[in-house]
Chains A and B, each alone.
Chain A
Amino acid sequence: MGPLTWLIALPLLGAAAAAAVGRDRERALRMVGLVTSVLVFAIAALVWGRFAPGAASLQFEEHAPWVPGVGLVYHLGVDGLSVSLVALTALLFPLALGAAAQQLAGRAKGFVITALLLETGMLGTFMAQDLVLFYVFWEGMLIPMYFLIALWGGPGRAPAAMKFLLYTMAGSALMLVALVAVAFAGERIAGRFTFDLPALLARPLGLGGPYESVLFLAFTAAFAIKMPVWPLHTWLPDAYAEAPPVVTMLLASVMAKAGAYGLLRFCLPLFPEAMRAFGPLLSVLAVIGILYGGAIAWAQGDMRRLLAYGSMSHMGFILLGIFALNLPALQGSLIQMINHGISTGALFLIAGMLIARTGRADTDGYGGAGAGAPTLAAAAMIVALSSLALPGTNGFIGEFLILLGTFQARPAAAVLAAFGVVAAAAYLLAFIGRIFHGPVRDGLASMGDLRREELAILVPLIAVIFWVGLYPRPLLARSEATVRALLANAAAAQTAARQGPHVAAGGGTSP
């Protein structure tokens, strides 16, 4: 068993261990969760550290037959697209479990088990190289997430969890049919039925035309709902607001990334022509999402909804960068995926800490909280500044590269998107101002500053913020070769498509 299998197996083993512990031994349960996720992070950090930056291909590959009769393979691997996302996911889980220990006293057992199952699903999603294996993890993370919202959420949790589940499942249902269709297309070209992505990409699938567009849309619908892309975002405010804050952090920091990652992992290499053809449309949606999310966030009184719409606005930048289809924009999108995970995750954690102290989520109920909790206020300020892309923090690197790349491809979109940066400044500073500044509200002076364990959760995130902001080279170097290769392949496929008629335009089995 290689390190990647351990990344999947360890959380499962941890969940099994937690299942064996009695439900009233909360300390032991929390320790199981924490130790497991720290071990997972150690392996992920090792993988990240040993990853050879110059190579475009998959590393740490594991390949074993799963169901040979139907072309299913157990194929794991990381490349420049995924290695940092795996590390991010593994970093966030110990922090989430640590924060949950304080926010969810009394029902630890189920939470620890479900969260560890979720970790398996999320890590697997970023490592699977077989279409069905990917789908298994992709859907596999939905079910724990549903239960985390439905059982541990706020008063409106049941409908919010169901809405989230049905929305995301409806999107991925079509993807299931589409990925079977892709495998059949691969069989026509290569004569062998397989779901293995590298094997399918070994030669051009020759889809082309409306058939490629249909398949592209089926995949993209699944990814766009997860991100979410405007106008498919309506599940987001409810789910983000009703889920417990640590779960919201995982939703925003990891699950949203899975959508963006899917576009790069599957849509770009499998459907390069459709990726180009639908670029303008999706860029428009991205810009709408950036501006709409920013504007709505500014008007929210509930801090979780404010951050939820803000997160959606930031995801718009990532989408914009992906469809600019050039090196700086894609690199910016990838690094912004990490940044968004860190900054938005930290903001949701801070919101959770505030709610745990006062029991209220509306920003109007606060004011002058900085007087009683200066360290918390300082941490919130740093995170907010990184989220609105202040130079020297991680957000600047990402958004700058995205806007640079987009400006080369679609100047108008880049100019409009830049207003999103202004909107982010408006709502984030409003968030900070309403909560931490101004006259001190009753009881907030004695709110209590960060405790040691809370500090231990926020410090690693703030460290990453400055590290990426000041020295982004290691991150960018890890993804560069893969992104170059992806773009080169897509360009080659497009030229081939333009020069000759499609090998099987419309396809023999096209519906």
Chain B
Amino acid sequence: MSTADLVLVGPELVLTIAAVVVLLQDAWATGGVLEPQTPRPAAVWGSLAAVGLALVWDVGGRRWGPAFGGMYVRDQFTMIADLAALAAAGLGILLSSAYLPRVRLPAGEYHALLLLATVGAMVMAASGSLITLFLGLEILSFSLYVLAAIARRSRRSLEAGLKYLLLGAFATAFFAYGIALIFGATGSIDLREIGAARPSRLLGAGIALLTVGLAFEGALVPFHAWAPDVYEGAPLPVTAFMSVVAKVGAFAGLLRVFPLALAHLAGVWGPMLAAIAVVTMILGNLAALFQTNLKRLLAYSGIAHAGYLMIGVAAGGPAGTWSVLFYLLVYVAMNLGAFGVLLLLARQGMEADRVEDLAGLSGRAPWAAAALVLFLVSLAGLPLTAGFIAKLYLFRAALGAHQPVPALVGVLTSVVSVYYYLRVASAALSGGAPQAVAVLRNRLVGAALVLATAGVLWLGLFPAGFTAAVQQAARQAAAAVR
């Protein structure tokens, strides 16, 4: 380990140190009190500052190269994935700032775990070996297990955390066994060396097991069953953050393994992953049609979006890689934005998570309602929003890789998704506001919504700059493993 190594992992380091400081400061400040009544601005601003610093280091630093003997890779691919993870963290902190004191969640632990989960996703994106990937996955998912259960007094939150932990541990076991088999087949855990190895049955089995672990984290069918329950049970800001950061980590990992390391075996895994994408899109979208609880609806919509992202992974090649990278950032903005509007509502002090709670929002908070419509339209993949451009890129990658079926299923299920997204949008734009639901005003949540709106509009109308960045990142990463 040299200084150069430490400079390269700087962003992760900043977040880790911040997480520890926030946790310690919390312990000192509150003493033995578990549920402090007072808001904790220090935790909020400290975490935000850490995210900002990591972002500057990451994007502004532009130092590329392998570290720790090639186990860690910092390149433009890492930078773009980090951008998505840090955006998720920053928006997640802003969005939860009103919710935490209101529901009396422990702010110190919440922020520390949120920062650590972000570190996990970033490590996954930077993995040059399977061990790094495993470490990242574990850091990410352990933080999320605890975050899901952070509302100690809520049985549903505890149930969510426990379900997530048990199933997640199971998936992790598959993942670890996959690493073992791959090591047995190739004698290496380095992604470049695995990519250069001769294909064998043992390697195939190992890769299949690896896929199980990553597919679980990304909520891909048939490893998605945990998602609706965990999303519904976890506190709303946790659900929001979890829904995006887990995807960033999982799909960055999938990209590192399949299109980048195993590019030469695309003929083998391409159709398999395409099948997963197709099944995931169909099931996620159809199940979302019947949801009346907004958290569950967004959970199934999250599964559907995992399916769309998988189109790009299955297509492989640089086009598949960069379209997934593009989609990840867009997904962070639009999904957190939609959750953010829900976080502005409260039904008798509780979460307002039913479709009818949104009724009449346009009369009470017109800007929030307009933003919600924009996010939903973007999630549905309709034009003038980033969601459309992102989907166009994925479909283009699929057709370019001679995989018309995922593209066709993708557009058709997008039509299905229009039904449930616009049903929610119509609810927000019409009807009378229910008495029991209050609309909160909060500057930080408002700032998060403004940022997310700007992102969705900017990437929808002027995507050229970011497109060029992800294209270059994918080319660089592909060239490096060859």
Contact = CB atoms under 8 A, between A and B. Distances in A.
A177 B370 CA distance: 29
Contacts of B370: 19
Interface in B193-247: none
Interface stretch (B80-88, B158-166, B248-256, B412-420): B412-420
B53 interface: no
B381 to A, nearest CB: 9
A342 B429 CA distance: 32
A146 B471 CA distance: 35
A184 B407 CA distance: 14
Interface stretch (B34-42, B95-103, B395-403): B395-403
Nearest to A68: B464
Interface in B381-437: 382-384, 388-389, 392-393, 395-396, 399-400, 402, 404-405, 407-408, 411-412, 414-415, 418-419, 422-423, 426, 429-430
B93 interface: no
Chain A interface mostly: helix
Contact of B419 (A68, A135, A166): A166
A430 interface: no
A443 interface: no
Given A70-B393, A162-B419, A140 B383 contact: yes
A500 interface: no
A151 B429 contact: yes
Interface in A113-144: 132, 135-140, 142-143
Given A140-B384, A151-B430, A181-B399, A70 B467 contact: yes
A110 interface: yes
Contacts of A136: 383-384, 388
Nearest to B396: A180
A73 to B, nearest CB: 11
A174 interface: yes
B398 to A, nearest CB: 9
B468 A69 contact: yes
B384 A177 contact: no
Contacts, number: 90
Nearest to B416: A166
Given A147-B429, A162-B422, A184-B400, A173 B411 contact: yes
A39 to B, nearest CB: 22
Interface string A157-186: 010011001100110011011001101100
Contacts of B366: 23
B46 interface: no
Contacts of B407: 177, 180
Nearest to B410: A177
A177 B383 contact: no
A192 to B, nearest CB: 14
A359 interface: no
B424 to A, nearest CB: 12
Chain A: interface size category: 35 or more
B285 interface: no
A68 B382 CA distance: 21
Interface residues of B, number: 36
B285 to A, nearest CB: 13
B132 interface: no
B153 to A, nearest CB: 39
A170 B395 contact: no
A177 B467 contact: no
Contacts of A511: 404-405, 408
A150 interface: yes
Contacts of B408: 174, 177, 511
A117 to B, nearest CB: 9
A136 B404 CA distance: 21
A110 B422 CA distance: 17
Interface string A452-476: 0000000000000000000000000
Chain B interface mostly: helix
B270 to A, nearest CB: 14
B419 A67 contact: no
A184 B399 contact: yes
B377 interface: yes
Given A66-B464, A69-B471, A143-B377, A174 B411 contact: yes
A77 B442 CA distance: 46
Contacts of B402: 509
Given A65-B464, A136-B383, A184-B399, A177 B422 contact: no
Given A66-B464, A67-B464, A143 B392 contact: no
B467 A166 contact: no
B78 interface: no
Contacts of A165: 418, 422
B362 interface: yes
B206 to A, nearest CB: 32
A485 B377 CA distance: 39
Nearest to A23: B366
A382 B471 CA distance: 60
Contacts of B388: 136, 139
B52 interface: no
B66 interface: no
Name, among A65, A132, A176, the residue most crowded by chain B CB atoms within 10 Å (CB to CB): A176
Contacts of B415: 166, 169-170, 173
B266 to A, nearest CB: 16
B127 to A, nearest CB: 27
Nearest to B407: A177
A67 B418 contact: no
B190 to A, nearest CB: 31
B463 interface: yes
A137 to B, nearest CB: 8
A328 B278 CA distance: 48
Contacts of B419: 162, 166
Nearest to A152: B430
A140 B395 CA distance: 19
Given A180-B399, A184-B400, A169 B362 contact: no
Nearest to A162: B419
A151 B383 contact: no
Interface string B360-383: 001000100010000001000011
Interface in A1-59: 19, 23
A143 B414 contact: no
Contacts of A150: 426, 430
B292 to A, nearest CB: 16
30 contacts: A66-B464, A67-B464, A67-B467, A68-B468, A70-B393, A135-B383, A136-B383, A139-B382, A139-B388, A140-B382, A142-B382, A158-B426, A166-B415, A170-B412, A173-B412, A173-B414, A174-B408, A174-B412, A176-B392, A177-B399, A177-B407, A180-B392, A180-B407, A181-B404, A184-B400, A509-B399, A509-B400, A511-B404, A511-B405, A511-B408
Given A67-B389, A174-B408, A177-B407, 14 more contacts: A23-B366, A68-B464, A136-B384, A137-B383, A139-B382, A139-B388, A140-B382, A142-B382, A151-B429, A162-B419, A162-B422, A176-B411, A180-B396, A509-B402
Interface of B: 362, 366, 370, 377, 382-384, 388-389, 392-393, 395-396, 399-400, 402, 404-405, 407-408, 411-412, 414-415, 418-419, 422-423, 426, 429-430, 463-464, 467-468, 471
Q: Which 4 A-B pairs have the closest CB atoms?
A: A511-B404, A173-B411, A136-B383, A67-B464
